Structure 1
Amino acid sequence: MSTLQKQIILGFAVILLGAFFWYFLHYVFYVGNLTTGCWIAGGTLFLLWGIGLCLAMLLIDDNKVLYGSFLITLGLFGLFFNNEPFYYLAGLIILFAAFCSASAMIKREEEIQVNLNFWRIWQRGLPRLLTALFIVVALVYFFSPHPAEIAKREITIPRETFNSVIKPFEKLITERLPEGVNDLDIEASKILTPKEIKELKDKYNIELKEDETLKDFIYKLANYQLNVAPDPYKKFIPIGLAIALFLSLKIVSFIFVPLTILLSWLIMKILLALKFTRIERETKEVETVKL
């Protein structure tokens, strides 16, 4: 098998794994219904693509094969995500630039080493590439339905939590109530007038039933305030979630990068044993300055 054929095989592996990774992203952010097995499969897929990229950036010398395969992978992105082409294009340009930079850094590190240290070689470029990839993932999440759904989701305080929190303040609250009201278990209709009850329903969508107590009313009022208060800031929730996802992925990368490099090293050893690739010693001329 010729060197070019081997490089094409590596390039095809990058394309195939990249396509599956885009599909997984689409499934996660647009389909949902995720199980533990799905997350394990997705993590494994991400790891395999990382290994493929590491091997490709190091072993593929033909720039047409290297950059062409990655460009095809980026092109496949459009099959799954095309709702915001301008922003996605900007993200993909950043990712491609990071890939070119990471590849150049990896090859430069390989050239200056006397005895190959794969850890140092891949460590030079992989983190930069992953950072750009995480930006694309955060963009996909930002434009998916999930952040908007979370922003619209109603927040409800668990009743048990509310009862526990309000209990120490019951005496303080009853002191401010009309004379004769000694606890919060009195029916709310005995404190509020029919007009006030109707106004609560019409203006604030707080409906009080006849047998509901004053404590029930306070509980509903607390939930209402909890959902109304952040209204002016809800538009910032999607971008906040996207940034949080990006930062979370960056934290995960502290584990992912060493693991990817370790597995890439093991795959490299297997490829060397199978004679798919080889290590050669070269004599290089270098410039020195002397007196």
Structure 2
Amino acid sequence: MLNIGTIILILSATLNWLFAWQLKNTFSADFSYTNVFLTLGIFILWGTVLMLNLIIIRNRRFQNIAFILGAMGFFINGFNAFIAASIILLFIAFIYTRKYIQNDLDNQVKIKSYNTLYLNVWFLIMAVFLTVSVSYYNIIPQIDASQINLAIPPEIFDRAFSMAEMIIKNIGNAELKIISENFLTESLKEQTRTAMNNYMANLVISYETYIPGGLAIGLFLGLQILSWPLRYLLSLLGSSILNALIVFNVVKKKTITIEKEILT
């Protein structure tokens, strides 16, 4: 019969692959809230098991093997140097997170699993966000500049011209009002709209190569909004499940006496 440690390691690797596969489905298809929430749900499951992995498993060799096997799943999203570098960084983050968590546990008189997880998993979550962003960069199709429409809506121009006319009418002098009546014509407004929209279209064409990278960076920065809620949720779920495992005697906890030198 498998013990709890083996189950956690198997689940950790399996859910990592499932999360990577779901990322590919989400980024490859048209935007769907169903896919987004399904991806988030799988990430929470994987993250919760990972919290238990970090705080329960003591066999570092098997722990490293299981994590590496799981992280290899991100190669589903592209087999290149970018994905490889993000996986290496993810593994480094895992090692350092484990080190700090174990140090905290070793120095605690009474185990406080929630605080230990919450204070130490932020770097690992950042590494996951980076891997997600790199996966997005690899998965999204090459963007054609002609598909991007940055044309400014006519309503924006109409409001801008109306505001300018109102300001001139209320606070402008007589000479300025005459200039406004002669130059703020419909023809000038149309020329301004055309010139601005042409400028925006040329801007997109000029930076077409950088658009996928910019979107990936934007995704990474946008994911920072989820950093604190995910730290809180994963730490809470991980510590709660750990407490339940202790209550049902699946994970054993014992008290030890430490000898200490004092001066008398």
The TM-score normalised by the length of structure 1 is 0.76
Q: Which has the higher contact order (CA 8 A, sep 6+)?
A: 2
Contact 1:19 1:77 in 2 (8 A): yes
- 1:255 paired to 2:252: no
CA separation in 2, counterparts of 1:244 and 1:39? Answer: 17
Structure-2 change in CA distance of 1:46 and 1:150 (3 Å) = farther
Structure 1: how far apart are the matches of 2:68 and 2:211? 33
Aligned residues: 252
Ranges in structure 2 where 5+ consecutive residues have no aligned partner? 166-176
Does 2:249 match 1:275? yes
Distance 1:100 1:65 in 2: 13
The more displaced of 66-75 and 234-243 is 234-243
Match of 1:222 in 2: 196
CA contact (8 A) 1:151 1:235 kept: no
**Alpha-carbon shift at residue 152 of structure 1 (Å):** 5.6
Separation in 2, partners of 1:57, 1:150: 45
The amino acid across from 1:16 in the alignment is: T
Greater gyration radius: 1
1:223 deviation in Å?
1.5
Task: Show the counterpart of 2:170.
Answer: none
Query: Distance in 2 between the 1:66 and 1:150 partners?
Result: 46
2:111 aligned with 1:116: yes
Q: Distance in 1 between matches of 2:27 and 2:144?
A: 12
Kindly state the Cα deviation for residue 226 of structure 1 after the two structures are TM-superposed. 2.0
**Does the CA contact (< 8 Å) of 2:104 and 2:116 recur in 1?**
yes
Is the contact made by 1:54 and 1:264 (CA closer than 8 Å) also made in structure 2?
A: yes
Residue type of the alignment partner of 1:29: F
- Change in 2 beyond 3 A, CA 1:226/1:130: same
More helix by share: 2
Q: Work out the CA distance in 1 between the residues paired with 2:204 and 2:81.
A: 30
Confirm whether residue 75 of structure 1 aligns to residue 72 of structure 2: yes
Cα offset, 1:91, TM superposition: 1.0
Q: CA deviation at 1:251?
A: 3.0
Out of 169, 175, 185, which is 2:182 matched to?
A: 175
Percentage of matched positions with identical amino acids? 23
State the one-letter code of the partner of 2:244.
Answer: I
Matched, 1:97 2:71: no
Give the structure 2 partner of residue 205 of structure 1: none
* Partner residue of 1:49 out of 46, 49, 52: 46
Gaps of 5+ in 1: 178-182, 189-213
More displaced stretch, 85-94 vs 141-150? 141-150
Aligned to 1:145: 140
1:74 maps to a residue whose letter is A
Aligned counterparts of 1:289 and 1:173: Cα–Cα separation in 2: 89
Amino acid at match of 2:16: G
Aligned positions of 1:54-69 closer than 5 A:
54-69=51-66
C-alpha deviation, 1:63, in angstroms = 1.7
TM-score, normalised relative to structure 2: 0.83
Instruction: Give the CA RMSD over aligned residues.
Output: 2.7
How far does residue 215 in structure 1 lie from its aligned partner after superposition? 4.9
Displacement of 1:267 after TM fit?
1.2
After TM superposition, give the deviation of residue 125 of structure 1 in Å: 2.8
